[in-house]
Amino acid sequence: MITLGHYLVVSGMLFALGLAGVIARRNILIVYMCLEMMLSAANLALVGFSRFHLVNGLPDYTAQSLVFFTITVAAAEVAVGLAIIVALFRTKQSVDVESVTKLQG
C-alpha cells in the first residue's frame, strides 16, 4: 500500500539529488537544472500533503494554488537566469562556475 510517506521520501530523495548536483557540478547550466529539480521536489511534497489534508472530503486546494504559483515563479526565474548565464558566457567564454571568481576578493 502506497502511503503519503512514500511520496514524501521520493520527494526528499529528488531534493537531495538536486542538492548534490548543485554542490558537486561545475557546469552552471547543470547547476541550474538541479535547482529546478529541487523546486519540483518541493512541489511533490506540497501536492502529497494537499491530497491527504482533506477539506470537506476534497483535497486542500490552497496547497495546489501554492504549487501553481511556484511553477509560475520557477518559469520566470528560468528565463531571467538563462539570460544572466548567456550574458556571463559572453564576457567569460565559459560556463564553468570556477571561472567566475571576481567576488572572491
Partner 1 sequence: MPPLLFYLLALITLGFGLMVVTGRNPVTCALSLAASFVGLATLFLSLDAYFIGIIQILVYAGAVMVLFLFIIMLLDIKAEEGKQMNLPAIISGVLLAVLLTLQIIAVVSSTAMAKQSTQSAPLELAAAAEKIGNAALLPTITNDLKTGTLPDIKLIGFTLFDQYGFHLQVIGLLLLVGTVGVVVLSKREKGGAA
> What residues from 85 to 104 belong to the interface with partner 1 (CB under 8 A)?
85-87, 89-91, 95
Phi/psi of residue 64, nearest 5 degrees: -70, -30
3 state SS of 27: strand
3 state SS of 25: coil
Residues 24-53 that bind partner 1 (CB under 8 A): 24-27, 29-30, 32-34, 36-37, 40, 43-44, 47-48, 50-52
Q: How far is the CB of 91 from partner 1 (least distance, A)?
A: 8
Counting contacts by CB under 8 A, is residue 20 touching partner 1? yes
Counting contacts by CB under 8 A, is residue 23 touching partner 1? yes
Counting contacts by CB under 8 A, is residue 62 touching partner 1? yes
Structural contact between residues 80 and 87, judged by C-beta atoms closer than 8 angstroms: no
Distance CA 55, CA 15 (A): 28
Residue 16 burial (CB count, 10 A):
12
Q: How many CA atoms lie within 13 A of 17 on its CB side?
A: 15
Q: How far is the CB of 77 from partner 1 (least distance, A)?
A: 8
Nearer to partner 1, 58 or 103 (CB): 58
Nearer to partner 1, 94 or 105 (CB): 94
